[in-house]
Chains A and B, each alone.
Chain A
């Protein structure tokens, strides 16, 4: 929205002043990816101080943002995407056979449409917010240079995913972002907890990434092309490609998006890594849903071509995730975990909308809102938890009194998350799915307001070595960082109401039509009221239920993992150790021993047998045997 406004005004200025921003495209577009690369190299090569690293990283992100705005300005009136490509690989792999499989090429292809530009701006704002927050609140964090290097790697990957017009290129940047995620979430060293976190952050989502690889591979194996435009145009014109292949590819790519968007049941890699630096958690939680949504938008025609099955699978998955995420967010009292799970429901609802052309634009805008909103809420929540020295929501409180700015941020974020799914639901709701959507909206609101009430209301009790009266608002820079994210979220949310913005995004669909649909607002409102009743009025009891459920879930999880360990892991490991550690080496040694024994046997035979009679006997026996055999054979 802001982009559109500034772009429009600047464009008119351009016409007057004679400066045509379109002339900058040849260098501006590559600069979006070149900037983080240069910053990355700079940080790795020369910078050693925390401040220097922070400055380089922030400058890089700002350069990326400004470049993106410039490109947006240049493209504001063109609805078609800006495309340019640089060959990375282009080879002839065969001289015969099907023409489409005679060559192989991967281009560093940029495909920047309005959606990609909006997503880029949001992602960069989120990252800038996280860096700004980390600059002050994360001052004591270990490895500052390493942290900023990883943020730039993450930014590079994310920008690449959003801008790429080639599936292989997209895959590469997707994996790169995953690598950045791994580094960010496994940032803290020196504890086994960090090891565990890093393992989860690498392994679980990597499964999704490989699903993307498989999906892309299936598409290539059928269509012989990786360039999105060629692929999408070939979807319906290529002979011999069955619906099954298309469905498999669509489902696999959707799975990749779902895992990285961290919707239920793929939330573990984010909820288990909340101990990582808050800025890392917020950046990962804020950026990945945007990338996932952008991926789904890119393959929207594939979803359509794959027929109802793929959409059905995706729809059910997202519907269940939209309900289960916030529901599980009510279990336990860990602040950041609750925020992540509550917002995962909103992410699921937005992604659901992205799946359908009619609601794609509005849902994507909502997705941008929830992404920025959850990042802001995570940062605000962590600020409060840091000041109150606990992440246990039972022990927090008195937010309005001690930290009004942060608490206001939490409230805004909770509102953004609660209202986020409304647009999608209005456009997509149908009987009986509407009931699930209503429940999801209510649950998201209920679950999103829970952390707010936990921090904002109720008394902040005295604990050992903790004096509530000393709790103060963090420096303004921290709150500002939170508000940068929240502002992006609010703007994106409000923009869903604007026809101009939806048209600007240009992925089809319409703006919200108020009227009878406004009734859908009742669902989140109900959730908020319920949350007010439960956590506002009876905070301690409400949270006690959550804590008890959390303990039960923890115990249950312990039991299940114990069973898995006893029935699957341990026997499997023993088998593997048996084969590799004992079986094969024993077999190999056995062969060696057999030869040695044979040699020894021959030696003892030589020593033991009287040589002269043996020679004579052998001579006669062998000659006789072969003579008789020869006769037998010749007969």
Chain B
């Protein structure tokens, strides 16, 4: 396989470096183009990935591999990156900060993890992504940054310890080695503990309840762009790591699948509950993300090909919606939302579509994936998990409808219904904010090729 297959990674990393350098060399007047340039770079990377990534093979003596899973995961990450950048275009100041380069590094970390063939590469990819996300957002909000760093460090530590034990047990750091070394008979207390602690480390980045702090509290305490990275891209990277890792640990699934199923249930239920009681759209989006992460992990908990394919489908939808939602929701709450509908109708519309998709409302992106996962849950005798998931989805829909009500059914403060001739602030139409919503709709429209690719991706994980 030719090294040109690495072009997308190069573009992403290069863009990140250029953006960092650009802050030093480009005069302030021209920095408003950073966002557009970053968007172009992300689109180019996606194009390259779809073109070159279709070729399956390995590099560096098998240390890096490109398979359908990697293709799907990278394409999903890059799509997430595109919608994140596009949704951020409406706030140019933020695009000129340090967050944007960091966001590209997060995506790069994810791409590394997607192509990883060993635990070390997985660990590296995830840690690079996590550190970049925290660095990019933490620099903007120092106090939160420290907290994020600490909590992420806990995850990193757990991951490191767990990986160490796994490598020691299997005598091999590669995922393939892990798969061949570990047998159902080798499941014992220490191994199970190691596996579960490792997965806890991933769960902390994944935002899987009850370890959702990084994704929710962290996401809410930083800028929208940072939240998109923490509560969107990083979650995606963690999900990719989880999928790869669980592929390697498939033979000892009895050690982790009950744990994962219960945590998925907790995430779906807690996410729905908190979303339904959250006070403002950004918090609603954050908790809906947790619920949808529950669906992703529920698919993985079925530990078979179709379940993982469903999980990947949900992951793609999640990346589209969750990365852009904070940027569209920003900080508005209460009556400001009515003003938002009045003054920025496209942003309001985009936000609604994303929230509905996160809630799994048909016919949007989230629904298709969740349905695929649900079908697999029934097949895998996890009907109880389906029941909890449906309850969580019901609560999620309630949450989404609450936001729609605030947005569209309350009187805008600057346009009282009675006073027809009242002064109205000028409307702003920025079509970029519709990109995520359009992507979400496109995702449903193209669900056929996407689901086909997801199935091939799951097959690449060598699941039964």
A and B touch in the complex (CB under 8 A): yes
* A residues in contact (CB < 8 Å) with B: 595-596, 598-600, 602-603, 606, 611-612, 615-616, 618-620, 622-624, 626-631, 634
Within the complex, which residue of A595, A624, A626, A631 is in contact with B276, where a contact is CB–CB below 8 Å? A595
Tell me if B164 counts as interface (CB < 8 A to partner A): no
Given known A615-B204, A616-B154, contact A629–B270 (CB-CB < 8 A): no
Decide if A615 touches B187 in the complex (CB within 8 Å).
no
Beta-carbon contacts under 8 Å, B183-215 to A: 187-189, 192-193, 196-197, 200, 204, 210-211, 213
Q: Which residue of A lies closest to B191 (CB)?
A: A627
Decide if A622 touches B273 in the complex (CB within 8 Å).
no
Stretch of B17-25, B73-81, B253-261, B347-355 that contacts chain A: B253-261
Decide if B150 touches A631 in the complex (CB within 8 Å).
no
Given known A600-B277, A603-B274, A631-B189, contact A623–B197 (CB-CB < 8 A): yes
Within the complex, which residue of A595, A606, A611, A618 is in contact with B151, where a contact is CB–CB below 8 Å? A611
Q: Complex Cα distance A622/B197, Å?
A: 9
Q: A619-B158, A624-B193, A631-B188 are in contact. List 12 more A-B contacts (CB 8 A).
A: A596-B276, A599-B273, A599-B274, A600-B277, A602-B273, A612-B154, A615-B213, A622-B196, A626-B192, A626-B262, A627-B196, A628-B189
Collect the chain A residues with CB atoms within 8 Å of residue B193's CB.
623-624, 627
Tell me if B395 counts as interface (CB < 8 A to partner A): yes
Collect the chain B residues with CB atoms within 8 Å of residue A630's CB.
187, 192, 254-255, 258
Q: Complex Cα distance A602/B209, Å?
A: 11
Q: Complex Cα distance A612/B211, Å?
A: 10
Decide if B254 touches A634 in the complex (CB within 8 Å).
yes
Decide if A634 touches B204 in the complex (CB within 8 Å).
no
3 smallest CB-CB distances across A and B, nearest first, come from: A599-B277, A623-B196, A627-B192
Collect the chain A residues with CB atoms within 8 Å of residue B147's CB.
611
Decide if B213 touches A623 in the complex (CB within 8 Å).
no
Decide if A629 touches B395 in the complex (CB within 8 Å).
no
Q: Complex Cα distance A616/B154, Å?
A: 8
- Chain A facing B: main interface SS: helix
Q: Which residue of B lies closest to A630 (CB)?
A: B192
* B residues in contact (CB < 8 Å) with A: 147, 150-151, 154, 158, 187-189, 192-193, 196-197, 200, 204, 210-211, 213, 217, 254-255, 258-259, 262-263, 270, 273-274, 276-277, 395
Tell me, rounded to whole Å, the shortest Cβ–Cβ distance linking A630 to chain B.
5
Tell me, rounded to whole Å, the shortest Cβ–Cβ distance linking A454 to chain B.
69
Tell me, rounded to whole Å, the shortest Cβ–Cβ distance linking B191 to chain A.
9
Collect the chain B residues with CB atoms within 8 Å of residue A602's CB.
270, 273-274
Tell me, rounded to whole Å, the shortest Cβ–Cβ distance linking B241 to chain A.
17
Decide if B273 touches A619 in the complex (CB within 8 Å).
no
Collect the chain B residues with CB atoms within 8 Å of residue A622's CB.
196, 200, 259, 263
Decide if B151 touches A612 in the complex (CB within 8 Å).
yes
Decide if B200 touches A606 in the complex (CB within 8 Å).
no
Decide if B196 touches A626 in the complex (CB within 8 Å).
yes
Q: Complex Cα distance A551/B93, Å?
A: 94
Within the complex, which residue of B187, B188, B211, B259 is in contact with A618, where a contact is CB–CB below 8 Å? B211
Decide if B277 touches A603 in the complex (CB within 8 Å).
yes
Tell me, rounded to whole Å, the shortest Cβ–Cβ distance linking A157 to chain B.
50
Q: Complex Cα distance A626/B194, Å?
A: 12
Given known A619-B197, A619-B200, contact A631–B192 (CB-CB < 8 A): yes
Collect the chain A residues with CB atoms within 8 Å of residue B274's CB.
599, 602-603
Q: Complex Cα distance A629/B197, Å?
A: 15
Q: Which of A598, A602, A615, A629 lies at the interface centre, i.e. has the most chain B CB atoms within 10 A of its CB?
A: A615
Q: Complex Cα distance A453/B154, Å?
A: 109
Tell me, rounded to whole Å, the shortest Cβ–Cβ distance linking A635 to chain B.
11
Decide if B276 touches A599 in the complex (CB within 8 Å).
yes
- 8 A-B residue pairs with Cβ-Cβ distance under 8 Å, sorted by A, are A606-B213, A611-B147, A612-B151, A619-B204, A622-B259, A622-B263, A626-B262, A630-B254
Q: Complex Cα distance A600/B278, Å?
A: 9
Tell me, rounded to whole Å, the shortest Cβ–Cβ distance linking A629 to chain B.
7
Tell me, rounded to whole Å, the shortest Cβ–Cβ distance linking B251 to chain A.
14
Given known A619-B211, A634-B254, contact A627–B217 (CB-CB < 8 A): no
Tell me, rounded to whole Å, the shortest Cβ–Cβ distance linking A604 to chain B.
11
Collect the chain B residues with CB atoms within 8 Å of residue A628's CB.
189
Collect the chain B residues with CB atoms within 8 Å of residue A595's CB.
273, 276-277, 395
Q: Complex Cα distance A623/B197, Å?
A: 6
Tell me, rounded to whole Å, the shortest Cβ–Cβ distance linking B391 to chain A.
9
Collect the chain A residues with CB atoms within 8 Å of residue B277's CB.
595-596, 599-600, 603
Q: Which residue of A lies closest to B204 (CB)?
A: A615
Tell me, rounded to whole Å, the shortest Cβ–Cβ distance linking B58 to chain A.
33
Decide if A615 touches B273 in the complex (CB within 8 Å).
no
Q: Complex Cα distance A29/B437, Å?
A: 69
Q: Complex Cα distance A590/B240, Å?
A: 41
Q: Complex Cα distance A624/B192, Å?
A: 9
Q: Complex Cα distance A616/B270, Å?
A: 19
Q: Complex Cα distance A272/B210, Å?
A: 72
Decide if B276 touches A615 in the complex (CB within 8 Å).
no
Collect the chain A residues with CB atoms within 8 Å of residue B196's CB.
622-623, 626-627
Tell me, rounded to whole Å, the shortest Cβ–Cβ distance linking A553 to chain B.
61
Collect the chain B residues with CB atoms within 8 Å of residue A615's CB.
151, 154, 204, 211, 213
Q: Complex Cα distance A596/B277, Å?
A: 6
